Amino acid sequence: MRTLIASFFVLLSLSAAAVACPQIQQGRASYSVTGQDLYTPNRYSVTAGGNQNLRNCGWNNTGYVISQPDFSFYTSGMSGYGRLEIEVTQAACDTILLVNSANASWFYDDDSAGYPNPRINLYGTANTQGRIDVWVGTYGTSNCSATLEMETWYN
């Protein structure tokens, strides 16, 4: 009986940890934008980081995010653009990006825009038109101020 009770509490704690991982839900901030709106880079201020360790959530990547997306972008008019670039352009610490695209594909990046800034490029309207959730996290446990930039490209 003691083993059964202990097992129950272990399962309960594991399920509570999983609930705290990044969740596909409405972001803290949401914006409706078109491909044309994003042809000129749009910038959004954010506090990067969080208390959810991606490795504890089953990811093979290092980073800390909040459970809720920092942003939900509702995009339209993307068919004329071949690429949507999402990157952190300014950060006071080492940042990471986690993106759930419009077709529910997950993307992660650490330093593609050069240390300490991540960059993710989404290609094709399946990934770029609809709701895109973005988490701006940190590589370490400290939070910092950062700027997210989104821009469309014809290629």
Supply the pLDDT for residue 32.
98
CA atoms within 13 A on the CB side of 3: 0
Whole-angstrom distance, CA of residue 55 vs CA of residue 128: 27
Interval 45-73 mean pLDDT: 97
Cβ atoms of 108 and 96 within 8 Å: the answer is yes
Q: Is the pLDDT of residue 64 over 70?
A: yes
Percent of the chain residues past pLDDT 90, beyond the cut: 86
| pLDDT tens for each residue of 133-146 | 999 999 999 999 99
In terms of pLDDT, which residue wins out, 155 or 90?
90
Interval 35-48 mean pLDDT: 98
The amino acid at 63: G
- List Cβ neighbours of 137 (8 Å cut-off, separation of 6 or more): 48, 49, 50, 54, 63, 64, 65, 66, 95, 96, 97, 98
Residue tagged 């990547």 (tokens): 61
The CATH number assigned to the domain with range 2-153 reads 2.60.120.380
Supply the pLDDT for residue 130.
98
The dihedral formed by the CA atoms of 106, 47, 64 and 121, expressed in degrees to the nearest 10: 30
DSSP assignment of 84-132: EEEEEEEESS-EEEEEE-TTS-EEEESSTTSTT--EEEEESHHHHSEEE
Supply the pLDDT for residue 124.
96
Q: Where are the domains of the chain?
A: 2-153
- Cα→Cα distances 124→36, 60, 105, Å: 15, 26, 12
Interval 39-55 mean pLDDT: 98
Q: What is the pTM of this model?
A: 0.87
Supply the pLDDT for residue 20.
81
| pLDDT tens for each residue of 97-131 | 999 999 999 999 999 999 999 999 999 999 999 99
